[in-house]
Structure 1
């Protein structure tokens, strides 16, 4: 929980700095952070180094600089990573990136979600459903599509903290409850 609070604060601080410089900078910061987190995910040992108090701040900065030299980020991101190293917060980088991405999506009017269907949908049907949903919620949607035969039919849509369960399984469960109550 504390990690999430710390990550959220750092993400908000970086976001507000980027906002002062414009939307292009915000997007660049987001891409830089994503690239950095991807590089860290490729080598889980780095996360252990960042969280280990045995390693000195200068050693952690050297590791970060080596990674950053590969992705060639904005100078603000380099400074930001050095600040995280100075404050022993490099272990929160993935959470900071996730929080920053949420702030950026909110700023750009983008909602991310997941659509689960019983069978795979073709590209045209996915696009039609996505377009209809975008009109309903007045936001651009970025959907991840998944198949789960257990829902039997229909779809389950999760966007943010909202869930629309229009699956056959959910309807059968509701019908079963109605019959149990004798209505």
Structure 2
């Protein structure tokens, strides 16, 4: 069976090209996020797998849950997914769409873990430094991880910067073992 990312990529590309061309990329991002989160709900997933419901009814359910009924183009997109029995891959479509939007906007969401809560000023300074290094606008998402002891762990796509005390202690322990 094909990988869901492989299945989702052409749908995401078509959706992004349409939404960007219509100047609705932000609206489609929000709608895709809502429908993707709805599809991940077990009750909704059961309904989408119900053979007694037609694809029209399944699309209507998702359109109602995501409040997308006003956006005819988005509902048409859901119909295409429904007709091809691909509504369950909406989370992967959203991820691929979001990555395309980030690339076009030259932005990147960066996960920042710290041992203690970071102030807004610290996050802003960190975002500025990372923006310069990554050559794009960085949107930091901060979280607290007490296991780090001190310092930061930054994840930006494939790039991981481990400046935590825990990471340094692990490297030291590894060096002492060898």
Q: TM-score, normalised by structure 2?
A: 0.87
Report the Cα distance in structure 1 between the residues aligned to 2:59 and 2:118, rounded to whole angstroms: 47
Question: Using the alignment, how far apart are the partners of 1:64 and 1:119 within structure 2?
Answer: 40
Q: CA deviation at 1:114?
A: 0.7
- Consecutive unaligned residues of structure 2, counting only runs of 5 or more, are none
Q: Specify which of 130, 143, 147 is matched with residue 144 of structure 2.
A: 147
More helix by share: 1
Distance verdict in 2 for CA 1:122–1:83, change over 3 Å: same
Q: Counterpart of 2:18?
A: 17
- Residues 58 and 172 from structure 1, CA distance in 2 versus in 1: closer, same or farther, beyond 3 angstroms? closer
Q: Equivalents in 2 of 1:179, 1:73: separation in Å?
A: 63
CA deviation after TM superposition for structure 1 residue 156, in Å:
0.5
State the Cα RMSD in Å.
2.1
Q: Which residue of 2 aligns with 1:30?
A: 29
DSSP 3-state at the match of 1:53: coil
What is the deviation of 1:11? 0.6
Q: Is the 8 A contact 1:50 1:60 kept in 2?
A: yes
Q: 1:95 aligns to what SS in structure 2?
A: helix
Partner of 2:107: 110
Q: Looking at CA atoms only, which structure, 1 or 2, has the larger radius of gyration?
A: 1
* Segment drifting more, 150-159 vs 2-11: 2-11
**Counterpart position of 2:45:** 47
1:108 positional shift: 0.5
Mapping of 1:99-138 within 5 angstroms?
99-138=96-135
Structure 1, unmatched stretches of 5+, are none
1:79 deviation in Å?
Answer: 0.5
- 1:12-60 Cα shifts (integer Å, max 9, x gaps): 1211223333xx222222122223334555x541222113334222322
Runs of 4+ in 1 over 4 A off after TM superposition: 38-41
Aligned length: 177
